[in-house]
């Protein structure tokens, strides 16, 4: 697909999809190109995500680029000043003001590239993602490979001891014993309590 970026001013790109769909890898690929072109590039990520090295955005495929962990949207905006390309990884974990902050940066002339999960483990829209998608000039929804059937996966399955995690669980768990798999719509299993809670995403 050929894209013509705006000739003046900044814009917003969103890279979304389930876990294991290559979102971080794609963001690193785009920002690396900008860096090669001599643009001033920075990546931020929420301080919550310390899966790997605290200073790197690390994709599951092993590509890495330095990232600045920030504790708040205000800190992100303050530290983004003077950069031409601003990456925001794991954007779903930021508070809702990340939407207005992204627009403010784009309107100030920056190319903003936000990457994150579009759905939580229940298949519900995740945090600020819906609004970011509606404001973005460019959106890419990546697919993973379904862990069960090998088809295109668009959802993230949370498992506890190999079983679907309860629907009523916390949306964000850090350092917990949960495991995740990418699944297609058909193979995604709601938690056993989903029907009792009237969940519409129940399969
Ligand atoms: Zn499947």
Q: Are 84 and 39 in contact (CB under 8 A)?
A: yes
Determine the average pLDDT of the residues in 133-148.
Answer: 98
Under the banding of pLDDT at 50, 70 and 90, the label for residue 8 is confident
Q: Give the pLDDT score at 203.
A: 43
Architecture of the domain defined by 11-142: 3-Layer(aba) Sandwich (3.40)
pTM of the model: 0.89
The candidate with the shortest Cα–Cα distance to 127, out of 99, 168, 103, 150, is: 99
For residue 149, give the 3-state DSSP assignment. coil
CB 114 within 8 A of CB 132: yes
Ranked by mean pLDDT, which of 24-28, 138-142, 178-182 comes out on top? 138-142
- Tell me how far the alpha carbon of residue 156 lies from the centroid of ligand 1, in angstroms: 11
DSSP string, 26-90: HHHHHHHHHHHTT--EEEEEETT--SS-TTEEE-TTS-EEE-EEESSHHHHHHHHTT-SEEEETT
Given this model, what pLDDT does residue 173 score? 78
What span, in angstroms and rounded, lies between the C-alpha atoms of 147 and 5?
36
Which range has the worst mean pLDDT, 3-17, 42-56, 65-79, 115-129?
42-56
Ligand 1 center to 193 CA (angstroms): 21
Domain borders along the chain are 11-142
**Å from CA of 135 to ligand 1 middle:** 31
Q: How far is the CA of 155 from the centre of ligand 1 (A)?
A: 10
Would you please indicate which residues are annotated as catalytic (active-site) residues?
Answer: 90
| Distance between CA atoms of residues 47 and 195, nearest Å | 34
pLDDT tens per residue across span 156-199: 999 998 899 999 988 887 666 789 999 999 999 988 787 777 77
Determine the average pLDDT of the residues in 25-43.
Answer: 95
What does the pLDDT look like over 75-124, one tens digit per residue? 999 999 999 999 999 999 999 999 999 999 999 999 999 999 999 999 99
Q: Tell me the pLDDT of the chain averaged across its residues.
A: 89
Rounded Cα gap, residues 61 and 70, in angstroms: 24
Among 141, 55, 127, smallest CA distance to 92 is for 127
* Residue among 135, 23, 131 nearest 87 (CA): 23
pLDDT at residue 178 in the model? 83
> To the nearest whole percent, how much of the chain has pLDDT over 70?
88
Q: How far is the CA of 187 from the centre of ligand 1 (A)?
A: 4
Token look-up 């679907």 returns: 164
Read off the pLDDT band of 55 (50, 70, 90).
low
């Amino acid at each position: 697909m050929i894209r013509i970026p705006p000739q003046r001013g900044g814009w917003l790109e969103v890279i979304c999809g389930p876990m294991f769909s290559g979102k971080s890898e794609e963001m690193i690929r785009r920002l690396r190109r900008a860096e090669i072109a001599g643009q001033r590039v920075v990546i931020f990520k929420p301080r919550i995500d310390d899966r790997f090295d605290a200073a790197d955005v690390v994709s599951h495929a092993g590509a890495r680029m330095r990232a600045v962990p920030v504790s708040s949207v205000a800190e992100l905006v303050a530290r983004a000043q003077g950069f031409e390309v601003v990456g925001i990884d794991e954007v779903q974990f930021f508070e809702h003001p990340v939407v207005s902050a992204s627009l403010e940066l784009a309107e100030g002339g920056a190319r903003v590239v936000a990457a994150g999960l579009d759905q939580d483990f229940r298949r519900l829209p995740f945090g600020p993602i819906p609004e970011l998608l509606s404001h973005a000039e460019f959106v890419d929804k990546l697919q993973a490979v379904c862990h069960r059937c090998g088809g295109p996966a668009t959802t993230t399955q949370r498992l506890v001891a190999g079983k679907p995690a309860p629907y009523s669980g916390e949306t964000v768990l850090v350092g917990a014993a949960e495991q995740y798999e990418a699944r297609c719509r058909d193979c995604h299993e709601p938690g056993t309590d989903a029907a009792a809670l009237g969940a519409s995403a129940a399969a």
